[in-house]
Every structure is written in C-alpha cells, then in structure tokens.
Structure 1
Amino acid sequence: MKKLLLSLVAVSALAFGAQAQTEKGKILLGGGVGFNSTKIEGASKSDINFNILPSVGYFVSDNIAIGTGVGYDYDKQVSKGLLNQSFEVAPFGRYYVGLSDQFKFFGQLSVPMSFGNYKDVDDVTGDVGDKLGTSTKIGVQLAPGFAFYPTKRIGIEVSVDGLGYHNLALKDEATGVKSTSETFGLNASTVAPRLGVMFHF
C-alpha cells in the first residue's frame, strides 16, 4: 500500500509587554493547524484529516499559564468507511522552567474534548452517506517541550505528544446503542514533533 503523508502543524503564541515572555499578567494567543493525507491502494480517494485549534492563555503567575483551545476536526477515513466531524475544546495549563535567557523547558497538561457525529463513507469512491451516530471523546494529555527565543520578540517551540489517556464513546443513530473504547500510551517520537513559532509584542 502506497502512503502519502503530509503533516503540517503550526502553533503560534503572542505575549504582550516589554518584560519576560512568561511573566505574570501576560497573554498567550496561538493555535494549531494540521493536515494529513494517506493514499489508499484500490480506492479513488485518500484518507484525509484536517484540524484547526486556536487557543488563548493567561499567565496567572510567573511561568504558569492557563487557557483553552477551541476548534474543529474533519477526519475522513475512506479505508474504514467513516467520516467523523467534531467540535473541539481543550483547556490547558502550562509550566515553564528557564534553562537560560534563550531556552525554556515547558510541560503542558491539557484536557482535550471533542463532540461530533460520524457518517458512512463509500470505501471505493469516497462518497459520504447517511449519519450513523454521534461521538464524544475526552482525554488527558501531558506534553513536554522546549522554547527557544533567538530574540525578545520571536520564539520557536518544539514539543511531542507525551503521555495521554483518551475515552471514546460512540452512539448508534438507528439503535441508540453506545460503545466505548479507551486508549492510554506514551508518544514521545522525535520523528514527528510539533513545531511552533511565537511572536512577542
């Protein structure tokens, strides 16, 4: 099976003021955007995932920020015959540790939640059919990362998914039957880290 994977994830943040970027009272504005496409052998269409998650945060004390992200996820899996579309909310807390004037380590604890519906997809043509049911996904994610500040106004951030737990509940539209699945794992791959650029004003 030939696979074509294109991944783009961008996270940006803005901190206002002339002092330290992670000082009490500062504001973080940012977001993430992602796109993946996988070519399926024998099918005329590819699996496609697109998501966008703008976020805002506030430093409640030096090096500690809390906030939330609100966004949308579109996940069309021709190979599994499903399309899932969902609204996402991801409250988070972030803690920074200064390693030097230009480098900071951070840990981010988030509670990603998504609420959506899933539909039937033809596994050959990729045509979308009837609504099959609704989906609810709630999780907890602990993600580490590093922030590099080449100047006072520009920062570059690299992070990985880290340790996570997710609970997925599906409700069948026709029968009303619910099914759940749980996943727990560590994803600290350095092959596909998330990269972000931050601008500080």
Structure 2
Amino acid sequence: MKKLLLGLLVFQFFVLAANAQIEKGSIMLGGNANYSNSNSNSDTRAVSPHTIQSNSTGNSNSFTFNPKVGFTLNNNWVVGPMLILSSSKGTSENNWVSGSTTVIDYTTTKNSSFGGGAFARKYVPFNEYFSAFGEVNATANNRKEYRKSENSSEVEESEIKYNEIQGSVHAGLAYFPKKWMAIELSANILQFAHHGRNQETEAQDHKVNYNSFGFNLNSSSINLGVSFFLNNK
C-alpha cells in the first residue's frame, strides 16, 4: 500500500509538472526594475582645542531597468536578448565651522549605463504553480560617472567612462498564478566582469583595466521581476 501511495504521489507530481511547462514557441517578455532613494543627515561638535562644528546632508536616488525578450526553443528552455539601462544621482552638502572660519562644500555625482547582451534560462517545474530556474547571461555596456565638487574657493570636475563585459549566473523561483504569467524572485549568485576605465580631469587622463569576480549571498543581490509568456496556453 505504501509503495502504491508513493507511486501515485510521484505520478501526480509529474502530471502537475507537465501542466506547468512553458511550451515551445512561446515568447517571454520579462525583466526587472529597481528604484531606491536615501537621505542622510549628521551633526558633529568637537571642543579640543577649538570648537568645531560640522553638518552633512545627502540625498541619492537610483533606477535600473533590464528588459528581456525570450524565445522558447523547447519545453522550459528560453533564450533571447536583454538590455541594461540604469541611472543614479547623488548630492551632498558639508558645512564646517571653526571659530570665524566657515567652509561649505557641495558635491554632485551622476551615473548612467547602457548596454545589452543575451541570456539562456532553464525552468524546472515543481508543481502546477511553482518552478525553479537557472540562468546564465553575458552583457556588454558603457557606463559614465560624472562628479562635481565646489566650495567658496574652487570648483573641481571629473568624468569617468567605463567599458564593461560581464557574465553572471542567476538562480530563482517563479510563481505562476496563470500559465502565461510568472512572478519571479532571483539572486545573482556568481558574476565575472572585465572593466576598462578612462578617467578624465582638467589635470590628467588616466586609463586602467581590471577584472573582478564575485560570489553573492546577500539581500542586495536579490531581484523581484515579472515575466509574461505569449502563446503559452
């Protein structure tokens, strides 16, 4: 009897898994979008040997959007192109007072990135509603970082340009409330990147190339996304 029940459970699992499959010929429209904003404020007062007071305020916001279009080659295998779009801006103000001397510094930073690449994803259904997936992708993008710092005596500006080639491995879990829609939670667990950096200022032009490798198991590597599967009945 136990063997019969176990056999029925295994049979039911594979029936549900078959119902959850993404059919060949379906088109996936997906990706993820993230927005963040932060504010900070700090006050410091020191008395040794003179009274020194400082106040710092800051604000930053960032936005990323990574759309994907995938084509199902066979059940549960999806490949296709992807885009990388991101921008961020931060401002800070620092006031420093010592006796009759007052210094105010303003700093502005801006970042933007644009690029694209390709991905391949494999879904492994658990049942009718849940499926695990693994994904590998390779991308190339251009990133620009601008910084301006000014006070009462001088203004300093710099611009850094990056050319980046990246490869990463993602693992995730997808929930299918409908067969044509998936809500996905994924983590970027492995990443390799090659960076070419060119930093330009009024005084110098500095170029450098370097590689990086990362293994991520923290909350900052987790993304939430939604995918739609056209023609998946």
Is the shorter-chain TM-score for this pair beyond 0.5, marking a shared fold? yes
CA spacing shift, 1:32–1:176, aligned 2, 3 Å: same
Q: Determine the structure 2 residue equivalent to 1:54.
A: 67
Q: Determine the structure 2 residue equivalent to 1:24.
A: 24
- In the alignment, the residues of structure 2 paired with residue 148 and residue 132 of structure 1 have an alpha-carbon distance, to the nearest angstrom, of 43
Unaligned stretches of 5+ in structure 2?
A: 1-18, 42-54, 93-106
Q: Which amino acid counterpart does residue 79 of structure 2 have in structure 1? A: I
Q: Post-superposition shift, 1:191?
A: 7.5
- The answer to whether the 8 Å contact 1:40/1:47 transfers is no
- In the alignment, the residues of structure 1 paired with residue 193 and residue 80 of structure 2 have an alpha-carbon distance, to the nearest angstrom, of 20
Unaligned stretches of 5+ in structure 1?
A: 1-18
Structure 1 window deviating more from structure 2 (146-155 vs 132-141): it is 146-155
- In the alignment, the residues of structure 1 paired with residue 120 and residue 227 of structure 2 have an alpha-carbon distance, to the nearest angstrom, of 17
Helix, strand or coil at the partner of 1:24: coil
Helix, strand or coil at the partner of 1:149: strand
1:184 to 213, 216, 220: 213
Is 1:156–2:183 an aligned residue pair? yes
Q: Post-superposition shift, 1:148?
A: 1.8
Q: Determine the structure 2 residue equivalent to 1:36.
A: 36
Structure 1 window deviating more from structure 2 (33-42 vs 104-113): it is 33-42
Which has more strand, going by share of residues? Answer: 2
- In the alignment, the residues of structure 2 paired with residue 123 and residue 93 of structure 1 have an alpha-carbon distance, to the nearest angstrom, of 47
CA spacing shift, 1:146–1:58, aligned 2, 3 Å: same
Structure 1 window deviating more from structure 2 (50-59 vs 112-121): it is 112-121
- In the alignment, the residues of structure 1 paired with residue 133 and residue 65 of structure 2 have an alpha-carbon distance, to the nearest angstrom, of 22
CA spacing shift, 1:55–1:102, aligned 2, 3 Å: same
Helix, strand or coil at the partner of 1:111: strand
Return the TM-score normalized by structure 1. Answer: 0.74
- The answer to whether the 8 Å contact 1:81/1:123 transfers is no
State percent identity of aligned pairs: 25
Is 1:195–2:208 an aligned residue pair? no
1:76-98 CA distance string (max 9 Å, x none): 35479642212121311111112
Return the TM-score normalized by structure 2. Answer: 0.65
5 Å matches for 1:67-82?
Answer: 67-78=80-91, 82=109
Q: Determine the structure 1 residue equivalent to 2:49.
A: none
Q: Post-superposition shift, 1:140?
A: 1.0
Q: Determine the structure 2 residue equivalent to 1:96.
A: 123
CA spacing shift, 1:123–1:137, aligned 2, 3 Å: farther
Which has more helix, going by share of residues? Answer: 2
- In the alignment, the residues of structure 2 paired with residue 81 and residue 181 of structure 1 have an alpha-carbon distance, to the nearest angstrom, of 26
Is 1:136–2:167 an aligned residue pair? no
- In the alignment, the residues of structure 2 paired with residue 183 and residue 144 of structure 1 have an alpha-carbon distance, to the nearest angstrom, of 20
Computing the radius of gyration from Cα coordinates, the structure with the larger value is: 2
Q: Which amino acid counterpart does residue 35 of structure 1 have in structure 2? A: Y
- The answer to whether the 8 Å contact 2:31/2:227 transfers is no
Structure 1 moving runs of 4+ over 4 Å = 77-81
Q: Which amino acid counterpart does residue 74 of structure 1 have in structure 2? A: S
- In the alignment, the residues of structure 2 paired with residue 181 and residue 38 of structure 1 have an alpha-carbon distance, to the nearest angstrom, of 30
Q: Determine the structure 2 residue equivalent to 1:5.
A: none
Count residues with an aligned counterpart.
Answer: 180
- In the alignment, the residues of structure 2 paired with residue 39 and residue 183 of structure 1 have an alpha-carbon distance, to the nearest angstrom, of 30
Q: Post-superposition shift, 1:64?
A: 1.3
Q: Post-superposition shift, 1:44?
A: 4.1
CA RMSD of aligned residues (A): 2.9
